[in-house]
Structure 1
Amino acid sequence: MIKSPWDIDKELGLWWYSTETPGTGGKLRTVPEDFLVEEIGDHPDSSGPYLLCKLTKTNWDQHRAIKAIASGLGMSHQRIGFAGTKDKRAITTQYISLFKVTADDIEKLTIPDIALTPLGFTQHPIDLGDLKENRFSIRIRSIVDKTLYSGFNEFQNSLDEGIPNYVGYQRFGVTRPVTHLIGLEVLRGDFQEAVRVMVGKPGTHMGEHEREGRACYLESGDPAAALHLLPPRLSLERSVLHHLVEKPGDYLGAIQSLPRTLRSMYVSAVQSWFFNLTLSIRLEEGRSLTEPDTGDRLIWPDGRTDQITSSTLRAAKVQIKRGTCSISLLLPGGKLIPETGADDRIIEHILEENGIKTEMFDKMSSVLNTTFAGSFRSTVMKPQIDHHIEDEDLCVRFSLPPGHYATSVLREYMKADPLNMT
């Protein structure tokens, strides 16, 4: 293992690289065409009130794209369903469902760098997680040490042993890693501070107007003054400020005015951050991600989980070696998990350290109309990567299950500045 030298990795709980191969450096997403993502789903044609469409977008933030589509169709963004959040600086293809929209409505819609193809109707909306996998085709440019091309097979051998299944940068942000910080304030019930973090906290690589607008709100808390300064592209921040101009002091209402999937993302980012921290502490303590111990929890591909006891330890080792299941960690939520294993004690300590109790997740489930029951996530992933060299750039292709992050794979190979990976 190698400790990450990057401050943002320390902040987001991405403390370790499990591979010991030298990092190539390099840069992702020099142009959107360098990062292609294709969602693979199973959405059979039927009949019903939901129009199923294939959405291809180039260099669009997911939530802003959904809001733009909703605005163009004259409908609420709450009536658009999608299975997963896709990368911004990329060309991504995915499926969405639109309630009571026709193919003719889609034909009239024109949004730059967004293409919608009607596929038929379905009885139920697409919801988060309704996909089989994501396929990636990625080009890594400006590699620092090109002699490491020949070492890719060694790197693949390391992947075969398993690498940490960290929740990647996209869940938190890199230039402004605030999603989990907003979620912490939401869970604590401090909606005023949640808005303050969302709108005011600065980031890197900000333009003049963004920097001035965020600083204005951070210093004054004046939504009208900040609105005057923030650029139009920050539509989510501006919608929150518009709400506060119309209803001063209604910070909960401002949060509730955001798309349900975004509200959910703030709290799920906290769960993901706790997962990353727990995973990194487990590695720091020298405990294996593939060799189980009593108290560890197993997860199967169908989501079923079980906790290892002294009497099942031997069988668990056999099952993990066969690849039928893997060790998992908790993404804590409203369902209380008894403290029985070493990882459970770590999670309980992290929750306590951040002033979070399990009942807060239940409370926010009702306040935000989204369930935060908690779940388990595998500690490892073992992707198979195809690669070739093109014009001295490394081109890779691989597939990942839902909720797994391509950057968590590529950071192991590149070991580059996270700012070069977004």
Structure 2
Amino acid sequence: MESAKGANTVVDDEEKAVGIECYANTASGFQAILKERYTDFIVNEIGLDGEVVHLTSLDAAVDEEIDSREQEKRQKTIVQLSATQEEPDDHSDRQLDDGKKAPAAAAATPSETQGEGTDAKVEQTEVAASVDFSAEIEIAVADFVKLAGPAEAERLKEFLEQPGVLLPAAEGKPAPAPLILASSNDKAYRTRMHVFFNSHFQLMTDTVEAPADEEASGPVKKDSKRPCLCIRVHPRKPVNSKGGNGGQKRNRDEGGGWKGHRRWPANLPQYLEFTLCKENKDTGDAIGVLSRILHVKPRSFGFAGTKDRRGVTSQRVTIFKVRAARMAKLRLLGMKVGNYRYVDRDLRLGDLKGNLFTLTLRGIEEGSQLSISEAVRTLRTSGFINYFGLQRFGSHSIGTHVVGAALLRGAWEEAVDLILRPRDGDKPQVAMARSIFKEQGNAAAALKHMPTWCVAERSLLEGLVRAQKNDYVSAFSSIPRTTRKMYVHAYQSYLWNRAASERVRRHGLQRVVAGDLIIDTGCQTDIDNEDGDNDWIFSNVREVTPEEASAGVFSITDVVLPLPGSRVIYSESVQKIYEEICQSDGVQLVGFAHSVREYSFGYLTGAYRRLVTKPDKVKFDFVRYSDPSADLAETDLARLQPVQHDTVKPAGKAEEGELLALRLSFSLPTASYATMAIRELMKSSSSQASHKAATLSANHIVQN
């Protein structure tokens, strides 16, 4: 494996600014258009079980099965209870001549039969309701004993069993009085009480003062100066009663009524897992849309990783206590959901093995098939330098790693200025807000013009308005924590890229050298975890000895480089590389550089990342096409709603299509960038400006 940086390769200023400078092999590159259409970049998540995620079904059949079982169980209970409550019929055992029992209603008139049937249905409905609530009351009272004791639990049981509390009272009869529970000065206890009644029966509660002459009869905090208050529990009110729905929450699916929120079926796992297939949306935007439509908070969702915006991606997502039938009714633009199942645990970041990419590179030069085929085979065998891609550092002229370096230096005012400084490409409203702050230094005036979607900028301006003059640290703390972490992590990534390029320049990629770091366990999973969750990795990283290097014990794919932090180790040669880079930026590599610990490498755990990654399951072919707008690869959405394009043909004779494209698929582990694999394959820049130039050039050739 040879490293390349020279003929037939491109390194532009944008990549060089973030440390992306070298290539892993010397295979010839080529020109092509990437991401001309969304369908040219398809990503399918690979789960921890190794299965590739696809959207294959939109229906909620899983709910139909569950509801069918629940209904069957319910009917059995109704029949059993009805049988025990029926009076014996003197004629019920009368036998016919042929040995069969005579129907009890054989002599009844049709009208009588119909009336009896109606009464029976009403009776069954009432029996079913009483059975359901009897069981729920028993469960609730048992839980309430643990919370408030047996005496209060007995009072609650008597209250719940009264007509008019859970079920409507007889017509003309008043509703029961609210239940006032024992008083307590423990606010946490009262909060648990509110939560209890919200989760059991969705009864409305409020807090009232205890009688002046009454001592607290509930839990008491001796040192607390809070007053003793009582929880008051209100009966349910019918939806059509005076005052609307009486303060009860309405079930959007059921239309409100006596049942309130639909009860979650017993023994059904609390999380619904589904496949989200989206087009031209990043994962955060898609989750935001779903949360608004479903009226739930974004944190109710879980997912294993964020997926690119410009592409068609499929991934698994979980949501807390939302039924599949409700999800299946959603009308969504640019995305679909399906393949539902219920699970016991939500998805969390990192719960995946990797991603399967299906890419289409258009505008291939005629006659280049052989050299491109060789380049693909070389990529498969030699891999690529596992750089952090440009998207890691933001899409603006001022990279997030530059802000991170300022924070690590303790240059708070500079960090604020970098975030709010005017920059090329801003939309007019954003440009105006930045200009006001730069020229006037007026955070309040700038805030009025800053759009809500500029989360970091708005949060910082709000912090500046609230904070005392020149208190930039407090102002910066107004930015959401995940965004603040992003800046420092971006500088970690920048350091890694720079160190990787320097390692390749000094030693190449033909062999492992003494002083390289390796993980001594043959780990094949993701090790690039900035939060340091993989504890076993830190205890298994070590230096390669001179003897091991001479014997060729390890391959270049075993070598890792650290993301700086308190738990990583450096060999002497590796640490020297990192220190040289940090010194040029005025950043301290080890320990705490200032009193704000959050912005120091001593606060971060650190991680390790493989120097070279090899793509797996590599497949490719060439296709001809005549329509530039034709989709050349099939997406999950297209399989569900097939659209035929007669302009796409296998590569063959020129008359079958004047345009040529490479269709390439491969899988990568988590935290590896497909754009870096394509950069290695094409030996060209991965920047957007470069891709736009290639697209314009190719379109010009086609038009002429």
Give the shorter-chain TM-score range: 0.7 to 0.9
Q: CA deviation at 1:67?
A: 3.6
Task: Between 53-62 and 406-415, report the one with greater CA deviation.
Answer: 53-62
Q: CA deviation at 1:326?
A: 1.1
Give the TM-score taking structure 2 as reference length: 0.52
Asked whether the equivalents of residues 35 and 90 of structure 1 are also in contact (C-alpha less than 8 Å), the reply is: yes
Q: Which one of 368, 372, 386 corresponds to residue 165 of structure 1?
A: 386
Q: Determine whether 1:37 maps to 2:273.
A: no
Q: How does 1:63-74 map to 2 (within 5 A)?
A: 63-74=284-295
Give distance in 1, aligned partners of 2:418 and 2:467.
Answer: 17
Give distance in 2, aligned partners of 1:241 and 1:207.
Answer: 19
Q: Which one of 596, 605, 608 corresponds to residue 373 of structure 1?
A: 605
Give distance in 2, aligned partners of 1:110 and 1:306.
Answer: 53
| CA shift digits 1:46-83 (9 cap, x unpaired) | 96544323222221233333344444444443443322
Residue aligning to 2:373: 153
Give distance in 2, aligned partners of 1:31 and 1:22.
Answer: 26
Q: Which one of 540, 543, 559 corresponds to residue 327 of structure 1?
A: 559
Alignment CA distance shift 1:283-1:415 (3 Å): same
Alignment CA distance shift 1:275-1:211 (3 Å): same
Q: Which one of 406, 409, 415 corresponds to residue 674 of structure 2?
A: 406
Report the secondary structure of 1:64's partner residue. helix
Q: How does 1:169-208 map to 2 (within 5 A)?
A: 169-176=390-397, 178-189=399-410, 193-200=414-421, 202-203=423-424, 205-208=425-428
Asked whether the equivalents of residues 385 and 612 of structure 2 are also in contact (C-alpha less than 8 Å), the reply is: yes
Residue aligning to 2:584: 353
Give distance in 1, aligned partners of 2:503 and 2:489.
Answer: 21
| CA shift digits 1:192-246 (9 cap, x unpaired) | 544543343524x4444444444444444544444444456x3424652574487
Q: CA deviation at 1:364?
A: 7.7
Report the secondary structure of 2:274's partner residue. strand
Q: Determine whether 1:397 maps to 2:665.
A: yes
Q: Which one of 9, 12, 20 corresponds to residue 14 of structure 1?
A: 20
Q: Which one of 24, 48, 56 corresponds to residue 30 of structure 2?
A: 24
Asked whether the equivalents of residues 334 and 360 of structure 1 are also in contact (C-alpha less than 8 Å), the reply is: no
Asked whether the equivalents of residues 171 and 269 of structure 1 are also in contact (C-alpha less than 8 Å), the reply is: yes
Q: CA deviation at 1:114?
A: 3.3
Q: How does 1:220-235 map to 2 (within 5 A)?
A: 220-230=440-450, 234-235=453-454
Q: How does 1:17-416 map to 2 (within 5 A)?
A: 17-42=23-48, 48-103=269-324, 106-107=327-328, 110-117=331-338, 119-143=340-364, 145-159=365-379, 160-176=381-397, 178-189=399-410, 193-200=414-421, 202-203=423-424, 205-230=425-450, 234-237=453-456, 239-240=458-459, 243-244=462-463, 247-248=466-467, 261-285=482-506, 287-299=507-519, 300=522, 301-302=524-525, 303=527, 304=537, 305-314=541-550, 317-320=552-555, 326-335=558-567, 337=569, 339-354=570-585, 355-360=587-592, 372-384=604-616, 385-390=618-623, 391=625, 392-416=660-684
Asked whether the equivalents of residues 278 and 347 of structure 1 are also in contact (C-alpha less than 8 Å), the reply is: yes
Asked whether the equivalents of residues 67 and 77 of structure 1 are also in contact (C-alpha less than 8 Å), the reply is: yes
Alignment CA distance shift 1:349-1:47 (3 Å): farther
Report the secondary structure of 1:170's partner residue. helix
Asked whether the equivalents of residues 64 and 235 of structure 1 are also in contact (C-alpha less than 8 Å), the reply is: no
Report the secondary structure of 2:313's partner residue. strand
Asked whether the equivalents of residues 488 and 599 of structure 2 are also in contact (C-alpha less than 8 Å), the reply is: no
Give distance in 2, aligned partners of 1:239 and 1:74.
Answer: 24
* 1:352 aligned partner, one-letter code: Q
Q: Where does structure 2 lack aligned partners over 5 or more consecutive residues? A: 52-61, 63-266, 528-536, 626-659, 693-704
Asked whether the equivalents of residues 387 and 497 of structure 2 are also in contact (C-alpha less than 8 Å), the reply is: yes
Asked whether the equivalents of residues 35 and 139 of structure 1 are also in contact (C-alpha less than 8 Å), the reply is: yes
Alignment CA distance shift 1:13-1:247 (3 Å): same
Give distance in 1, aligned partners of 2:503 and 2:474.
Answer: 39
Give distance in 2, aligned partners of 1:146 and 1:127.
Answer: 46
Task: Between 214-223 and 379-388, report the one with greater CA deviation.
Answer: 214-223
* 1:240 aligned partner, one-letter code: S
Alignment CA distance shift 1:261-1:388 (3 Å): farther
Give distance in 1, aligned partners of 2:25 and 2:497.
Answer: 17
Residue aligning to 2:160: none
Give distance in 2, aligned partners of 1:278 and 1:341.
Answer: 13
* 1:328 aligned partner, one-letter code: V
Relative contact order: is structure 1 or structure 2 higher (C-alpha 8 Å, sep ≥ 6)?
1
| CA shift digits 1:69-102 (9 cap, x unpaired) | 4444444434433222211111111122334544
Asked whether the equivalents of residues 328 and 379 of structure 1 are also in contact (C-alpha less than 8 Å), the reply is: yes
Report the secondary structure of 2:305's partner residue. coil
Report the secondary structure of 1:312's partner residue. helix
Asked whether the equivalents of residues 273 and 316 of structure 2 are also in contact (C-alpha less than 8 Å), the reply is: yes
Give distance in 1, aligned partners of 2:304 and 2:486.
Answer: 13
Asked whether the equivalents of residues 566 and 590 of structure 2 are also in contact (C-alpha less than 8 Å), the reply is: yes
Q: Where does structure 1 lack aligned partners over 5 or more consecutive residues? A: none
Q: CA deviation at 1:173?
A: 3.1
* 1:10 aligned partner, one-letter code: K
Alignment CA distance shift 1:14-1:318 (3 Å): same
Give distance in 2, aligned partners of 1:47 and 1:192.
Answer: 53
Alignment CA distance shift 1:89-1:121 (3 Å): same
Task: Between 242-251 and 406-415, report the one with greater CA deviation.
Answer: 242-251
Give distance in 2, aligned partners of 1:66 and 1:149.
Answer: 41
Report the secondary structure of 2:275's partner residue. strand
Q: CA deviation at 1:129?
A: 1.6
| CA shift digits 1:320-376 (9 cap, x unpaired) | 28xxx6111111123252x433122211322333313343599988689xx831111
* 1:348 aligned partner, one-letter code: E
* 2:32 aligned partner, one-letter code: G
Asked whether the equivalents of residues 78 and 259 of structure 1 are also in contact (C-alpha less than 8 Å), the reply is: no
Asked whether the equivalents of residues 216 and 222 of structure 1 are also in contact (C-alpha less than 8 Å), the reply is: yes
Give distance in 2, aligned partners of 1:59 and 1:255.
Answer: 31
Give distance in 1, aligned partners of 2:329 and 2:563.
Answer: 43
Asked whether the equivalents of residues 39 and 131 of structure 1 are also in contact (C-alpha less than 8 Å), the reply is: yes
* 1:151 aligned partner, one-letter code: S
Alignment CA distance shift 1:228-1:113 (3 Å): farther
* 2:555 aligned partner, one-letter code: I
- Larger strand fraction of residues: 1
Report the secondary structure of 2:302's partner residue. strand
Report the secondary structure of 2:455's partner residue. helix
* 1:7 aligned partner, one-letter code: D
* 1:379 aligned partner, one-letter code: L
Q: CA deviation at 1:380?
A: 0.8
* 1:346 aligned partner, one-letter code: I
* 1:14 aligned partner, one-letter code: I
Report the secondary structure of 1:16's partner residue. coil
| CA shift digits 1:98-128 (9 cap, x unpaired) | 3454445645655532333373343433222
Give distance in 2, aligned partners of 1:362 and 1:116.
Answer: 48
Give distance in 2, aligned partners of 1:361 and 1:97.
Answer: 40
